[in-house]
Amino acid sequence: MAPHNKLKRANSIKTIVIPLLRVTGLHRMVSDRVPTDKELPAAGSDEPAPAPLRPWLWALVGAFGAAFAVAAVFAPRFNHRAEKGFLVVKVSPAQASITLDGQRQLDPSPLVLSLPAGLHEVDVEAPGFTMFHAQVVVEAGSQETVNADLVVLGK
């Protein structure tokens, strides 16, 4: 590291970190006392540096930083409400079977489902009636309704 970079880093500690610790009151947690600007050794001098920060504080700061980073990365994956919407399927006749995305639904009509946002296929069929098919786009945070009125065959 070049000498001017060391000087810049020492100055940033003097001008940013130490006053911030004093203002927030954290200097009481960090060390028994925070040295003043006059007590810090000049850059390039042979004087010993002030006592380092307590190791447990560095561990605490590192743990909070790691937890924040993990939360920032994984939080969107756990935000299910924002990625889901609702689909309401109403059928007539009531005994008709409902299939959603290839899976038969056992709940009776009206069927209310919380689904991932996106395209879904709805099929409704009953013996003696025409088959109903629809593609529905469910948007995140919204509700879509499908009304399937089956027609009697031969009419």
Average pLDDT, the chain: 76
Q: What is the pLDDT of residues 6-16, one digit of tens each?
A: 545 445 556 66
Residues 93 and 74 in one domain: no
21: amino acid identity, one letter: L
Choosing from 78, 101, 118, the residue where a domain stops is: 78
Residue 154 resides in a domain: no
Of 3, 1, 2, which is closest to residue 44 (Cα–Cα)? 3
Choosing from 48, 78, 108, the residue where a domain stops is: 78
Residue 32 confidence (pLDDT): 52
Q: What is the pLDDT of residues 116-152, one digit of tens each?
A: 989 999 999 999 999 999 999 999 888 999 999 999 9
CATH assignment of the domain containing 86: 2.60.40.10
Choosing from 78, 98, 131, the residue where a domain stops is: 78
Non-local (6+) Cβ contacts of 95 within 8 A are 126
Residue 95 confidence (pLDDT): 86
Whole-angstrom distance, CA of residue 8 vs CA of residue 84: 50
